[in-house]
Amino acid sequence: MAIPEVKASAATAPATKPAERKPDPCVVIIFGASGDLTKRKLLPALYHLEQAGLLPKEISVVGVARRPLETTFAPDMKEGILAGGGVDQADPALQPFMDKVSYHAMNFDDDGGYTSLKAMLADIDAKAGTKGNRLFYLATAPEYFADIINALGKHGMNKPEANSASWVRTIIEKPFGHDLESARVLNDDVNKVFAEDQIFRIDHYLGKETVQNILVFRFANGIFENVWNRNYIDHVEITAAEAIGIEGRGPFYETAGALRDVMQNHVMELLSFVAMEPPVSFEASAVRAEKVKVWRSIQPIHPADTVRGQYGPGIVDGKQVVGYRQEDRVHPQSQTETYAALRLEIKNWRWAGVPFYLRAGKRLAKRVTEITIMFKQPPLSIFKDEQGKDAEEIRNNIISMRIQPDEGITLRFGAKLPGPSMSISPVNMNFSYAETFGASSANGYERLLLDAMLGDATLFAHRDGVEATWALMTPLLEYWAKNPIRDLPNYAAGTWGPPTSDAMLKADGRKWRKL
Ligand code: BG6
């Protein structure tokens, strides 16, 4: 039976546009621009900012990659912008924006390439008025990050011209390292060339409205924070489920797996927002300090509190799909996990004793990222005549934060069923972003690109944070590498992951919420 629903609506008419924060004129230089990210996310996001009037007039975008794409790059990016949503082919601002997009072909280890890039940027400054401000975006495969950073330093492109008011910043894509040691080495390399306040380690989950809203929900409302602790909360679940497989990224995914690809970064970021103490302000240093405290308070995760899985063939969206080991450029006996689940505990005064269950995986039953806060049951049930089979659904209040899709928040509580008995039915109070504020074509990169242009690092990872999350994951990765499991694949594509994941919660007398 579907659970009855009460809808939330905006109390006052929603503002159509956030307060304007316009960055300085600048050039955005994207290394690895021939990759998917630039076309699917970065250019559409930049154009959404342009549409919202949030970009400076003097902006220029330079794609950098190895292939000779000089004539095809801008038209290709235009296609990406149109596919990114919210843009009409006939939009009069589109072609003028495309005229600001150019391309520079070079090998990342070629000194001559940096010399000519530097000259090109100086030329753009002179013609477009970009004032020497540079935002480098490293969207290459991670093995090139250190080389590019070093070369930028060697060619004096890491700092502004002497005696100028300009700035130079660099955004670095994930994955930032593949374990604690490599993250430390990369941090050292980057910090030799750029000061920490020039570095923007990106996690695109922090660009999502629903993720930022976790902080607003908790810290801009008086009623939730009082119950946001071990006295009232039974446990917390975080699910990052994808229906897609590895989408042709075999060689990358073989070296990554679900723990590195999603758990160490996206899921850990969600966890920190759910669990952190209120920061003293919404400034980068204050927010980052509270996040890092959460990660450092997590007890080392015991291998017995982990589950790994790999998908076999199955049916997704009504179509037969191959198993992970049959994917292109994947080893036929691969041990790489496409599913990971963890149980962990945060040892601090707010959370001691509250289990956090996290799961992330590919080729699961559907795409859903959701945080469930399951509250404790009332101490005593005076209503004996509860309806329905699932007592947990009735007795435990739930706040579920729907990060994506169907973005919103639901509060579940019990209500009296109309009729002559005191029967209880769970009901949902539902807030939907799209219904309340209208649908949006934003992909999350808008806010982060804008913040980096403005020099605001609040929604970016700091060195300490990256190392703290790798410190949690690395022992597990090492244990898993030394202890292969025999029964892979252990879940069929299109299901909710391996049975051992359900068993982990069952051992605690709990179960994953049905999403
Ligand atoms: C990326 C991972 O960081 O996040 C991908 O590398 C994953 O494997 C993606 O598919 C998920 O992002 P989103 O925004 O679609 O949830």
C-alpha dist (Å) from residue 267 to 99, 142, 353? 38, 20, 20
Residues 439/406, Cβ–Cβ less than 8 Å? no
The pLDDT of residue 296 is: 97
Ligand 1 atom nearest residue 404's Cα? 16
Residues 236/373, Cβ–Cβ less than 8 Å? yes
The string of pLDDT tens digits covering residues 231-242 is 999 999 999 999
Tell me how far apart the alpha carbons of residues 465 and 208 are, in angstroms, rounded to a whole number.
19
Q: What is the pTM of this model?
A: 0.94
Whether 474 has a pLDDT exceeding 80, the answer reads: yes
The string of pLDDT tens digits covering residues 314-348 is 999 999 999 999 999 999 999 999 999 999 999 99
Residue 17 confidence class, pLDDT cut points 50, 70, 90: low
Q: Where are the alpha helices (DSSP H) in 220-358?
A: 250-255, 258, 268-275, 284-297
Residue 31 confidence class, pLDDT cut points 50, 70, 90: very high
Q: Measuring from atom 9 of ligand 1, which residue has the nearest CA?
A: 262
The string of pLDDT tens digits covering residues 263-311 is 999 999 999 999 999 999 999 999 999 999 999 999 999 999 999 999 9
From ligand 1's centre to the CA of 282, what distance in Å? 26
Tell me how far apart the alpha carbons of residues 149 and 151 are, in angstroms, rounded to a whole number.
5
The string of pLDDT tens digits covering residues 103-131 is 999 999 999 999 999 999 999 999 999 99
Tokens linked to 357: 């269950």
Query: For a substitution probing ligand 1, which of 210, 261, 403 has the most ligand atoms within 8 Å of its CB?
Result: 261
Q: What burial letters (b/e) apply to 115-126, b meaning 16+ CB within 10 Å?
A: eebeebbeebbe
Query: For a substitution probing ligand 1, which of 266, 337, 370, 406 has the most ligand atoms within 8 Å of its CB?
Result: 266
Pocket of ligand 1 (CB under 6 A): 174, 242, 261-262, 369
The pLDDT of residue 327 is: 97
From ligand 1's centre to the CA of 205, what distance in Å? 9
The pLDDT of residue 485 is: 92
Quick one: average pLDDT of 192-197? 95
Closest by CA position to 97, among listed 36, 34, 52: 52
The pLDDT of residue 51 is: 93
The string of pLDDT tens digits covering residues 384-404 is 656 555 666 677 899 999 998
- Using a 10 angstrom Cβ sphere, with 0-12 exposed, 13-18 middle and 19 or more buried, the burial of residue 128 is middle
Residues 273/281, Cβ–Cβ less than 8 Å? no
Whether 360 has a pLDDT exceeding 70, the answer reads: yes
Whether 12 has a pLDDT exceeding 80, the answer reads: no
The string of pLDDT tens digits covering residues 41-71 is 999 999 999 999 999 999 999 999 999 999 9
Whether 188 has a pLDDT exceeding 80, the answer reads: yes
Q: Could you tell me what percent of the chain has a pLDDT over 90?
A: 84
The string of pLDDT tens digits covering residues 425-455 is 889 999 999 999 988 888 899 999 999 999 9
Q: For 10-24, 172-186, 217-231, which range has the lowest pLDDT when averaged over its residues?
A: 10-24
The pLDDT of residue 21 is: 75
Quick one: average pLDDT of 198-219? 95
Beta-ladder partners of 425? 415
Whether 20 has a pLDDT exceeding 70, the answer reads: no
> What mean pLDDT, rounded, does the chain reach?
93
Residue 382 confidence class, pLDDT cut points 50, 70, 90: confident
Closest by CA position to 349, among listed 426, 417, 301, 293: 293
From ligand 1's centre to the CA of 262, what distance in Å? 7
The pLDDT of residue 104 is: 97
